[in-house]
Structure 1
Amino acid sequence: MEDEVARRAMLRYDLSPEAVVALINISENTTYRVDDPGTGRTAILRVHRPGYHAPDSIRSELAWLTALREDAGISTPKVIPARDGSLVVEGPRDCVMFEYLPGTEPPEHRLVEDFEELGAITARMHEHARRWRRPPGFTRFTWDYDAALGSVARWGRWQDGLGVGPAEREILGRLDTTLRDRLARFGAGPERFGLIHADLRLANLLTDGHGTSVIDFDDCGFGWYLYDLGAAVSFIEHYPQVPEMIDSWTRGYRSVLDLPAVDEQEIWTFVMFRRLLLVAWIGSHSSVDVARELGAGYTRDSCDLAERFLT
């Protein structure tokens, strides 16, 4: 079905009849590479999953990533409008076309070094978010405790994660309670909570030897600024170099913005907050390749990390 949606959407853009689409990946959304021999241009077409974002929310995402590039010099993909000027091609599956940016995911052997640059980029994004005058009608999700782990549980309940039995439920339940209490004490004042990318993991960064581009703002919304660091180590929280990566990130962040020591002390709260949210995500997205690959092992490793965090 997605292929047919993509082909129909292409008819709305200024492409030659020779243009073709090729699937890149299926995760939350379905992403295609568009190659147009007639013009020599390459682009990215994102086919949105149904029921997650309304068109106004998608337009809000596009407004921020555009403002970040134009106002703060952050490398983000330009949005390619349809022939009628629409940024979002609406339908049963809304579609957006982006320019193709060069680069690859940061290599593992450079993670510590690259995280200093990521920290500085993240701080520039947060600085922009704090002063940016959002356009009328701007609307995005909120990623607070209730939305992630509580009554809303936007990605599902961690209790329904793969491999969550009685023992796992007990350990992760203690983690959940601790996170809820620590986040409540930390608070959501404007100096700590605002507009964030919310998914700055390695797959959403492109490096080309000259700098780093930030892509896929699909989950951007309102949350704790430190959540962007928790998301940056998604799926690799157990790597032995993570403490060094965090040190590198904070060094880069402080080159742009202040990071109070009392905030720094809560970094692992946000790493574990994201980790528990991903246990829920894997449970509710078992058809996605990365979720299927990680499976119950991710839950088991999360319990080990939780025990270390809690003690």
Structure 2
Amino acid sequence: MATNFENPEMFQRVASEAASRYPYELTACRLLAFSENATYLVYDPETDEKLFVLRVGRPGYHTYEEYESEIAWLRQINDYTPLTVANPIAARDGSYIQVVEVPEEDLTCYCMGTEFLTGETLEHDNAPDAAPRHFELLGETTAYLHRQTEIWNGTKDIKRPHWDVDTMIGPDGIWGDWRDYPEMTPEAEVAIARCCEIIRKRLERYGKTPQNYGVIHADLRDTNIIVEGDVIKVIDFDDFGFGWHLHDLAGALSFIEDREDVPDLVNAWLDGYRKVLPFTDTDFVEIDTFILQRRIQMMAWLGSHQDSTPVQGYMEGFLEGTMGLVKRYLRLFG
């Protein structure tokens, strides 16, 4: 597991050091969120002009080479899809990744500045009637990303994690073990473990092919899609790696998997996706499997990321909602 953000003041100092290396006269950093990284808005303290967004990576979460891979994919998306992503910004010395050492903590922090993108996020909680339209847009956006990676020879050089059964819901998962969720009960653990066995068997049969597995964003929630007029913008590539394409659908439903309108949202997402790429019956029958796998993965994330900004709000009722999904899944496939 990566180091937690146990010292916010230290990360503020790291952000300030990294921001000072960029070609601006005056900079100040305002914390936006703690998640897999500490995200700061870098602005001019005299004019309050928004200059760029700076990410300070959670130490131990990504390597230097993994950040280089992110930069490579961002450039490909900008060049070969109708989508817009936040371009990396070069420091004064021309570098795109800032390495900031913290000797007193024996830590190395990797920081990356990107453009500040204007527009509004597709947060459907504030406008539930618009959710199906938003998910259709999400589906289309996702398909553009998948199509780009299918035709890009550079994916063979990508250095990023694989999001598979072991790394998501296994005991040594990247985000920890779901069994460590604070409110876990013996009864829930038994039922979830049974689901994990079924998920593993079904996905072994589903397999990994060039048509269903490749480079994915891995966190295409509505909050990571920005729209300005007719322009679609994608942000937060910190989790991108290799995985099943259907994981991006499941990621779009993060924390709302138990809502009654999920079938409608899935259908809307599929309508958007099919505008760009085909979606087979073999894929369709595993949608429930990917949705539950993501939910269990997020249980591990919630348990191991108590310092992250949104965690407490997400945990309310999370286990109860998960168990509803678990019972349904066992009825379908158990």
Q: What TM-score bracket applies, with the shorter chain setting the length?
A: over 0.9
Which structure 2 segments of 5+ residues have no match?
A: 1-9, 101-107
Size of the aligned set, in residue pairs, is 310
The amino acid of 2:324's aligned partner reads D
User: How far 1:309 sits from its partner (Å)?
Assistant: 1.9
Is 2:119 the partner of 1:103? yes
User: How far 1:151 sits from its partner (Å)?
Assistant: 5.1
- Secondary structure of the residue aligned to 1:178 is helix
- Secondary structure of the residue aligned to 1:294 is helix
Change in 2 beyond 3 A, CA 1:212/1:146:
same
The amino acid of 2:327's aligned partner reads E
The separation in 1 between residues aligned to 2:313 and 2:165, in whole angstroms, is: 27
Map 1:219-230 onto structure 2 (within 5 A). 219-230=239-250
The separation in 2 between residues aligned to 1:162 and 1:295, in whole angstroms, is: 10
With the length of structure 2 as denominator, give the TM-score of the two structures: 0.89
CA distances 1:22-67 after superposition (whole Å, capped 9, x unpaired): 1111112111111135795521011111001011101101110221
- Residue equivalent to 1:49: 58
- Secondary structure of the residue aligned to 1:100 is coil
- Residue equivalent to 1:174: 194
Map 1:63-142 onto structure 2 (within 5 A). 63-91=72-100, 92-108=108-124, 109=127, 110-134=130-154, 137-142=157-162
- Residue equivalent to 2:39: 31
CA distances 1:201-231 after superposition (whole Å, capped 9, x unpaired): 1221222343331101111000000000000
- Residue equivalent to 1:8: 17
Residues 81, 145 of structure 2: 8 Å contact kept: yes
- Residue equivalent to 2:205: 185
Identity of aligned residues (%): 36
Change in 2 beyond 3 A, CA 1:41/1:149:
closer
Residues 86, 117 of structure 2: 8 Å contact kept: yes
1:295 equivalent among 315, 318, 323: 315
The separation in 1 between residues aligned to 2:131 and 2:67, in whole angstroms, is: 31
- Residue equivalent to 1:240: 260
The separation in 2 between residues aligned to 1:265 and 1:147, in whole angstroms, is: 22
Residues 16, 38 of structure 1: 8 Å contact kept: no
- Residue equivalent to 2:288: 268
The separation in 2 between residues aligned to 1:165 and 1:107, in whole angstroms, is: 32
Which structure 1 segments of 5+ residues have no match?
A: none
Change in 2 beyond 3 A, CA 1:307/1:66:
same
The amino acid of 2:65's aligned partner reads D
Residues 163, 296 of structure 1: 8 Å contact kept: no
- Residue equivalent to 2:270: 250
1:208 equivalent among 211, 220, 228: 228
- Residue equivalent to 2:169: 149
RMSD between superposed Cα atoms in Å: 1.7
Change in 2 beyond 3 A, CA 1:227/1:6:
same
The separation in 2 between residues aligned to 1:199 and 1:66, in whole angstroms, is: 19
Residues 162, 299 of structure 1: 8 Å contact kept: no
The separation in 2 between residues aligned to 1:105 and 1:135, in whole angstroms, is: 28
CA distances 1:119-141 after superposition (whole Å, capped 9, x unpaired): 11111110100111217853010
The separation in 2 between residues aligned to 1:151 and 1:304, in whole angstroms, is: 22
CA distances 1:66-119 after superposition (whole Å, capped 9, x unpaired): 211111122111110111111100122111001100123213222110111111
The separation in 1 between residues aligned to 2:38 and 2:142, in whole angstroms, is: 26
- Residue equivalent to 1:308: 328
The amino acid of 2:310's aligned partner reads V
